[in-house]
Structure 1
């Protein structure tokens, strides 16, 4: 009888999953409603959600089958329709089933909806609906990636999103990347630990694609002791992750010095040599620590191999190289890192190194896990997963400005290979874009205004913001002063106001205008669902702000290069000239603003112009160092013809190409 009432009245006639017209006669008030994307408890909340979704006059539902099963009722259906949105997206017909579970009172206590595939929207003027999933808040598997040359401020968004996830993971790189987080007035600098460490209810995974210098990891955990004495228990390390040894760092320094003026500007943290050891298969992994006798034998072999290849002095060695080679021959890493004081860590010989790793093995044994099993078990439990990238798209070893790149893949494909998850598992990819462009080290930089040594001519602009004075790191000219109506060197201002010094290296970053031609390329590679624009406050006070919107070639400036095209060869990149668009700046201090609507008009225009030019919605805007300084944005892209778009202008991957409504 109940089965007949549900199917005949509620499903066929009432079409309640399209209309929200539910009756308390058969549904318990605290009924649990679950579908592939959402879970809601309470009849009123579910009614409200459904009532806002479909237009009943343009939607249909046909019942295919109904049966009584153990503990409840199962109904199979086919449905389709039109969403209540201004551009009237049509949802292709989908088939599914509903499983009803009954309470002891004979009411429906839970409803689970299953679909054979996600809803597919067609005939849209704007393809993707702005919702909380593209901002990462409701995403089941969200990836946050740098979209430029690194240092975009990824850590702040990851920190915000990590407050509501159960697992935070890293998939690439090593201690050559750095996040600085300001939480409750205290700074935390992470080079290896995922940002989920700040959420004491969150597990943290260092995936198989990461290379880990264990002493650095232990120092970071020690610094968290006051915040969370049991922090170590929330860190899990893949058995397949490679161990980065002090010898790798010494070799990195030797190789960088050999390059001379052609050096790539490595951080000398041993990342490249460790990935090289992985590629030539003489590296050691965390799983080896669980078999220590074998670990000790192979470590001795690795050190001996390193000493044979790099330990002997060469005819053209610099004093620094000779020092490093001597340290490697003796395996005195204290001497390598700090020859005068020996206080920067390291060991005096191979035996000390083995003893140190014996202690690490005992301490870390419970935390070394099969990461593929761990992450898939957490996904199957319904845990929300947040993945943070190290470095950024233009430092990717394949897609970056090679050879001035890092030693790992930093783009979205590496999420799958660095964690052991399939592409279809990824719900949301957020690209973090600084409101201007920076990079560290060498290599062409199309929009560059000022270099590390501050020796470029720079672009002059009138300053219209509030007076400021700030200390300059390692600068002989005293504090940096800004006064209204003065002419400022824009690149230098970005460096000083933006505190553009590397978390890992301490080097001053090269600065330039925002390069959207570069970001379009990054978006093509990564398939960003939305953009997090950071450090907008640093632009405060510039009378005019320029945006590079396209590339042209010096030899043929009348022709734009294709949207999203980025030269693969440095000589071709040197031939690029930028086409700029100029926007009016703002004078008001925005660092205390907590709502996007309260930003100055010109600041909002700058943000919205960026999303219009990219064809990708901006979901977050950073205006200061605190968590509260990250503003949520949910303004759709309006095309010149008045239609609304919220989707990238670039092809998406097949599994993520159509929106899930």
Structure 2
């Protein structure tokens, strides 16, 4: 289910569908897309490239976007001039909307010294072709999901990006353009808050970031390179090296509070296996004062000094372990410290990239909420 909170590149989506179908994975009849989801057009990518390359941001760094047109598509949505997937049903009106949009973007790019080499009629026909192919998948996802839940079906929702990239609650302006917190599940799918019965937060056993923005616990030494190499920390879209650092408890506590987490899923524990020492950021120092809450201003967060508590490494492999009791004592101590400091139980620990390389702790809220097949390897 792709909800109304997502902006969709139909060409990229169809490419993925065709790839899956070509490998024997059936998609048609199993995937559904909201008729309210907004479309990403080629002019959105042109605008984003022009925006990132210009000097309009003054003293601020570039955001470091993926250049896929996502931000400008959300800008159009917020400005009430976006084009939605459901608009393609009325083809003549769709053509008019595309024509007006191309004219507007051409003027906007010209103001930044760029030219938009694009024929509106060609773009409209190309996108109508995409949308005709996708039409069997287009539904009112809000009505669909609420009917399924009324019938007693379990629904598992997965957000994109993370709390620190949320447009409201993240390290603004170094954020994405949508809601990446648990609250976004309601607005992005059209389901009421009282339908949500549990919220699990996913965090690596260390911290990473792609692109610019504040990162207090970043490690630019050889230890950070170990995290990057062992964790294969490269952007899935851009291939850029992710910035790597240590667990940041003020950030994790903030995320737990904003999202109302009742469970934690800790991933990539095995990446830490070879380290002699493992620092954990427990608080910050700024202008002579220490505090354990994350400041809301990106400029301040970028200048704080992290205060660390250092744990001895366990120096043995946790790769592929599936029982908590088999973890080295120091690994358990590390995890339990995080749990106690954040105040949220740990429900799952991943010890490798495969689904079965996970430790599922018994008796947690998450285990009770999810059907057994979802927790089974």
Q: Distance in 2 between matches of 1:253 and 1:586?
A: 45
Give 1:45-60 correspondences, 5 Å limit: none
Question: 2:204 touches 2:268 (CA, 8 Å); kept in 1?
Answer: yes
In proportion to residue count, which structure has more helix?
A: 2
Q: Distance in 2 between matches of 1:287 and 1:397?
A: 25
The residue aligned with 1:234 is 30
Q: Distance in 2 between matches of 1:249 and 1:390?
A: 20
Are 1:424 and 2:199 counterparts? no
Match of 1:253 among 26, 46, 49: 49
The residue aligned with 1:633 is 361
Q: Distance in 1 between matches of 2:28 and 2:7?
A: 18
Match of 1:353 among 119, 123, 142: 123
Q: Distance in 2 between matches of 1:512 and 1:552?
A: 17
C-alpha offsets along residues 74-121 of structure 1, whole Å, 9 cap, x if unaligned? xxxxxxxxxxxxxxxxxxxxxxxxxxxxxxxxxxxxxxxxxxxxxxxx
Offset, 1:635: 7.6
Are 1:409 and 2:142 counterparts? no
C-alpha offsets along residues 548-578 of structure 1, whole Å, 9 cap, x if unaligned? 112232422xxx42x5x22111232134222
Are 1:441 and 2:237 counterparts? no
Match of 1:284 among 77, 80, 83: 83
The residue aligned with 2:4 is 208
The residue aligned with 2:168 is 398
Are 1:497 and 2:230 counterparts? yes
Question: 1:554 touches 1:577 (CA, 8 Å); kept in 2?
Answer: no
Q: TM-score, normalised by structure 2?
A: 0.92
Match of 2:70 among 267, 271, 294: 271
Name the SS for the 2:32 alignment partner: strand
In proportion to residue count, which structure has more strand?
A: 1
Q: Distance in 1 between matches of 2:111 and 2:297?
A: 35
Question: 2:348 touches 2:358 (CA, 8 Å); kept in 1?
Answer: yes
Give 1:57-456 correspondences, 5 Å limit: 205-228=1-24, 230-259=26-55, 262-311=61-110, 314=113, 325-326=114-115, 328=116, 330-331=117-118, 349-450=119-220
Q: Distance in 2 between matches of 1:574 and 1:390?
A: 24
Report the structure number with the largest CA radius of gyration: 1
The residue aligned with 1:567 is 295
The verdict on how the C-alpha distance between 1:213 and 1:519 changes in structure 2, with shifts beyond 3 A counting, is: same
Offset, 1:591: 1.3
The residue aligned with 1:507 is 240
Unaligned runs of 5+ in 2: 367-377
Unaligned runs of 5+ in 1: 1-204, 315-324, 332-348, 451-457, 459-488, 637-645, 648-661
Q: TM-score, normalised by structure 1?
A: 0.53
Name the SS for the 2:168 alignment partner: coil
Name the SS for the 1:627 alignment partner: coil
The residue aligned with 2:349 is 621
The residue aligned with 1:151 is none
The residue aligned with 1:520 is 253
The residue aligned with 2:272 is 539
Q: Which moved more, 1:230-239 or 1:394-403?
A: 230-239
The verdict on how the C-alpha distance between 1:541 and 1:351 changes in structure 2, with shifts beyond 3 A counting, is: same
Q: Distance in 2 between matches of 1:495 and 1:229?
A: 32
